[in-house]
Chain A
Amino acid sequence: RKEVEQDPGPFNVPEGATVAFNCTYSNSASQSFFWYRQDCRKEPKLLMSVYSSGNEDGRFTAQLNRASQYISLLIRDSKLSDSATYLCVVNMRSGGSYIPTFGRGTSLIVHP
Chain B
Amino acid sequence: NAGVTQTPKFQVLKTGQSMTLQCAQDMNHNSMYWYRQDPGMGLRLIYYSASEGTTDKGEVPNGYNVSRLNKREFSLRLESAAPSQTSVYFCASSDSGREQYFGPGTRLTVT
Binding site for B on A (CB under 8 A): 8, 31-32, 34, 41-46, 49, 87, 89, 91, 93, 96-105
Contact = CB atoms under 8 A, between A and B. Distances in A.
Interface string B68-111: 00000000000000000000101000001111111111000000
A105 B37 CA distance: 11
A98 B96 contact: yes
A43 B58 contact: no
Interface of B: 31, 33, 35, 40-45, 48, 50, 56, 58-59, 88, 90, 96-105
Tell which of B33, B35, B42, B96 has the most Cβ of chain A within 10 Å.
B42
Tell which of B45, B99, B102, B103 has the most Cβ of chain A within 10 Å.
B99
Contacts, number: 55
Main SS of chain A's interface residues?
strand
B105 A98 contact: no
Nearest to B44: A102
A44 B90 CA distance: 9
B105 A43 contact: yes
A104 B56 contact: no
Contacts of B48: 97, 99
Contacts of A105: 42
Contact of B56 (A97, A100, A102): A97
Contacts of A42: 104-105
B78 to A, nearest CB: 20
A87 B40 CA distance: 12
A49 B99 contact: yes
A69 B96 CA distance: 22
Contacts of A32: 97-98
Given A32-B97, A32-B98, A96-B50, A102 B58 contact: no
Contacts of B102: 43-45
Nearest to A3: B59
